[in-house]
Amino acid sequence: METAVQSLVSGVLTGALYAMIGVGLTVVFGVMRIINLAHGEMVMLGMFGAYFGLELLGLDPFVSVVVWAPVMFAAGALIHRLLLRRIIPGGELNTLLYTAGLSLLVANLALFVWTGDYRTINLPYAALPLRPFGIAVPIPLAIAFGIAVLVTGALWLFLGRTDLGRAVRATSQNAEAAVLMGIDVERVATFTFGLGTALAGVAGVLLAPSLYLYPTVGEILVVKCFVIVVLGGLGSVPGAIAGGILLGLVESFGAVYVSMAWKDGIGFLLFLLVLLYRPSGLFGVGKA
Amino acid sequence: MRKLALLAALVAATSMPAAAQTIRIGAPQPMTGADAPFGDKFKKAYSLAVEEINAAGGVNGRKLEVILEDHQAKNALAATVAEKLITQGQVLVMTGGRASGQAVEIASVCQRLKTPYLVDHPSADLITSKGFEWVFRNNPTGSIYPQAFNRFITEVEGAMPKSAAVIYDNTVFGKTIANSAMTFLRSKGVPIVADEAYPVNTLDFKPLMTKVKAASPDYFLMVAVSTTDAILLTRHAKEIGIRPRAFVGFGGGFGVADFPKQLGPLAQNVFSSAAWSGNPNDPVVKAFYEKFQKKYGFLPKEHEVEGYSAIYIIADALKRAKLTGNLEQDRDAVRQALLATDMTTVFGKVKFGSYKGPLGDAYTNQNVHSPQHSVLAQWKDGKLLNVWPKNNAETAYVFPDVM
């Protein structure tokens, strides 16, 4: 019983962070029909941001979210304005290849500048986990979970309640109709790409104290990210949240009740089954 | 005509009398990537030995030079750089390798290209149990690694495990050590309650630890070739709340300075069953420690001792080998000389021979003193101190672990 509860807790905690990475990818896809293969690298940049914030400025990684979120937003908006905007009319395949190139460029620049060394963030207050009812809850993961829930909740409100949020959703649902309704789709796209990048960056900052970081960590994350987004349905924000938590749970229970070696395999098996039988996601809300 | 003379002069210059040429030793090591800290340790160890030998006049008047090639801890790349060192780098003898996966590749290349290879640290039994007559090893094999731990649980009263969980990475190294440890435990009737392999550089061990916790093992044995895995295994095991009587780590990662630095109080009392039993109170070892610390500003451990000793073993063989200037003949001469090695280095006694390992592997050119070279150490306030066998102990062991 305790094992099951522990698996549940670990799964949900990790899943919330997966969800946040997934949401960033899915909004970008929804609005621009861009599958951003460089999304994992944006997470990686967030992780390094947290690391250097602490090492050089003594900034607590969780506090540094307020710095890195706007920085990553600006970086994303710039990438869209200067690099992506010209490629988008070329079609989905072109943007896919373009972001793949961007991903390689960023990862290899990072390898060059920061070397392939593995780094970890040590927070003195986070050495030992909390143990409510004998269930281990690692402190950095618990804080990250809290912030991820807040950010995702805020995003939800933003998309549902504000004009700009509605414009993002309208563009996502039907870009042509959005233009006819007087929405500046270009601006919305720039904003959305910034938003997606900021979400990835913040997820990276939050993950950094729980994982270790190295320039090619994005490769692992982007693959997980696709599983999440496909599980939930491409383009669907609630789908990505559910998909993230589901993947966290599948990995956690899979490692405990099947085998560690099969942990990732089970996730991908689920991915293939969903693609085969429910191509628009488990909830059928995605754009196939 | 003048050009021809110049060319002749150039040829003469490149094939100068042997005495004036340096002797090149090839060493593939990970100089970048996750394993780069290990490559750096060996680089420093080799440099110290080479400087000392050269300052004392070199080997029969010729200077030594170690040529490092970066293999980034990638097995395929290790084979490529080994071949490059031998065919293009014109090295006389090879050493290094860092991890078993890479050393297996290097050993195959050296065997094929008939170049002597002195293994200084990689430990998979396979390397010296394939009958390769060009491959020699000073350090103990993986299946010898757990010997000190085996002695500890046999010799210390009440220490025999009631059950054990064994977690290891799915590399040549991880499987060899886990297999050796489990074979011994099973022979003593100890039930293995968890037996799990994980991929190197896993990001999250918590699910695995949840499973291990459910099995509530009396001993928790962890094997890790990578330092990050060693650190994360220990952290997640303690976070999830596994409470065995002893945490025992096997592999380099459990013995490096980063281990207590990253883990802080979580490192306390973790055992490390390592490959070198050097007693720091021994005057030879003490002198080496002081020399090394003076030059580089940190205390050496097993890796530095292994790298430093390897160069001295090679130098000793080179001294006895009759070098003619013909690379092929000279390589065989060095191999013959290595076969006759019988000396003592900082690492301990060395003499290469063929015998059977603890799991029945037939070793070729494996140091015959290896079984005496294994040690069990324990982390105490950021320091790794030998606790068993008793004659090499620096401090009393803490057991059971009450942390």
Burial of B247 (0-12, 13-18, 19+ CB in 10 A): buried
Same domain, residue pair B38 and B64: yes
Q: What is the pLDDT of residue B326?
A: 92
Question: The domain spanning residue B259 has which CATH number?
Answer: 3.40.50.2300
Domain that holds residue B199: 147-277+375-392
How much is the ipTM here?
0.73
Q: What is the pLDDT of residue A282?
A: 77
Q: What is the pLDDT of residue B3?
A: 55
Q: Helix B75-87 vs helix B100-112: angle between axes, to the nearest 10 degrees? A: 30
Sort out which chain B residues have CB atoms less than 8 A from A263's CB and list them: 207
* Residue of B32, B203, B213 with shortest CB distance to A211: B203
Residue B220 phi/psi, 5° resolution? -120, 110
- Count of alpha carbons within 13 Å of A20, Cβ hemisphere only? 31
B54, two tokens: 């050269």
Q: Identify which of B270, B75, B94 has the alpha carbon closest to the alpha carbon of residue B173.
A: B75
**A128–B199 C-beta distance less than 8 A:** no
* Tens-place pLDDT, residues A1-15: 778 888 898 899 989
**A214–B34 C-beta distance less than 8 A:** yes
Q: What span, in angstroms and rounded, lies between the C-alpha atoms of A30 and A275?
A: 18
Q: Is residue B331 part of a domain?
A: yes
SS3 B367: strand
Contacts of residue B8, Cβ cutoff 8 Å, sequence gap at least 6? none
- Amino acid letter at A145? F
Residue range B8-18: mean pLDDT, rounded = 49
- 8 Å CB contact between B26 and B89: yes
* Helix, strand, coil fractions of chain B, as percent rounded to 5: 45, 20, 35
Same domain, residue pair B271 and B286: no
Q: Please state, in angstroms and as integers, the Cα–Cα distance from residue B355 to each residue in B69, B148, B181, B337, B352, following that order.
A: 32, 20, 20, 20, 10
* Residue of A127, A212, A256 with shortest CB distance to B210: A256
Q: What is the pLDDT of residue A160?
A: 87
Nearest residue on chain B to A213, alpha-carbon basis: B203
Sort out which chain B residues have CB atoms less than 8 A from A252's CB and list them: 206-207, 210
Strand B343-344 versus strand B349-350 pairing type:
antiparallel
Sort out which chain A residues have CB atoms less than 8 A from B264's CB and list them: 122, 124, 127
**B206–A211 C-beta distance less than 8 A:** no
* Tens-place pLDDT, residues B170-188: 888 888 889 989 999 999 9
- Bridge partners, B198 (sequence order): B169
Q: What is the pLDDT of residue B18?
A: 44
Q: Is residue B401 part of a domain?
A: no
Same domain, residue pair B28 and B116: yes
Q: Where residue B16 falls among pLDDT bands split at 50, 70, 90?
A: very low
Q: Where residue B124 falls among pLDDT bands split at 50, 70, 90?
A: confident
Q: Please state, in angstroms and as integers, the Cα–Cα distance from residue A286 to each residue in A16, A233, B190, B265, following that order.
A: 20, 4, 53, 48
Residue range A88-113: mean pLDDT, rounded = 86
Tell me how close the Cα of B73 comes to any Cα of chain A, in angstroms. 11
Q: What span, in angstroms and rounded, lies between the C-alpha atoms of A43 and A49?
A: 10
Instruction: Determine which of A5, A256, A257, A263 to mutate to test the interface with B (most B C-beta atoms within 10 Å).
Output: A256
Same domain, residue pair B322 and B195: no
- Cα angle, residue B9 at apex, residues B7 and B13 outer, rounded to 5°: 115
Same domain, residue pair B242 and B333: no
- Give the CATH number of domain A2-115+139-277; options: 1.10.150, 1.10.3470, 1.10.287, 2.40.50: 1.10.3470
Same domain, residue pair B110 and B201: no
Q: Identify which of A144, A161, A159, A141 has the alpha carbon closest to the alpha carbon of residue A26.
A: A159
Q: Is residue B134 part of a domain?
A: yes
CA dihedral of A142, A146, A151, A155, whole degrees rounded to 10: 120
Same domain, residue pair B250 and B385: yes
Q: What pTM does this model have? A: 0.75
- Count of alpha carbons within 13 Å of B176, Cβ hemisphere only? 25
Q: Identify which of A51, A57, A60, A105 has the alpha carbon closest to the alpha carbon of residue A79.
A: A105
Binding-site residues on chain A for chain B (CB distance < 8 A): 2-3, 6-7, 10-11, 14, 115-118, 120, 122, 124, 127-129, 131, 134, 136, 138, 211-212, 214, 217, 220, 251-257, 259-261, 263
Q: Is residue B402 part of a domain?
A: no
* Residue of A115, A127, A214 with shortest CB distance to B266: A127
Same domain, residue pair B130 and B24: yes
- Count of alpha carbons within 13 Å of B100, Cβ hemisphere only? 26
* Tens-place pLDDT, residues B376-386: 889 988 888 88
* Tens-place pLDDT, residues A247-277: 999 888 888 888 777 777 888 888 888 888 8
Q: What span, in angstroms and rounded, lies between the C-alpha atoms of A159 and B93?
A: 67
Sort out which chain B residues have CB atoms less than 8 A from A211's CB and list them: 203-204
Same domain, residue pair B167 and B131: no
Q: What is the pLDDT of residue B9?
A: 52
Q: Is residue B398 part of a domain?
A: no
**A118–B207 C-beta distance less than 8 A:** no
Burial of A87 (0-12, 13-18, 19+ CB in 10 A): middle
Q: Is residue B403 part of a domain?
A: no
Q: What is the pLDDT of residue B332?
A: 95
Binding-site residues on chain B for chain A (CB distance < 8 A): 32-34, 36-37, 72, 170, 196-199, 201-204, 206-208, 210-211, 213-214, 227-228, 231-232, 238-241, 262, 264-266
Q: Name the residue ranges covered by the structural domains of chain A.
A: 2-115+139-277
Residue range B135-142: mean pLDDT, rounded = 92
Same domain, residue pair B232 and B296: no
State whether the Cα torsion B335-B341-B345-B347 is positive or negative. positive
**B34–A117 C-beta distance less than 8 A:** yes
Same domain, residue pair B13 and B117: yes
Q: How many domains does chain B have?
A: 2
* Residue of A116, A117, A256 with shortest CB distance to B207: A256
Same domain, residue pair B342 and B382: no
Tell me how close the Cα of B72 comes to any Cα of chain A, in angstroms. 9
Contacts of residue A182, Cβ cutoff 8 Å, sequence gap at least 6? none
Q: What is the pLDDT of residue B5?
A: 56
Q: What is the pLDDT of residue B402?
A: 65
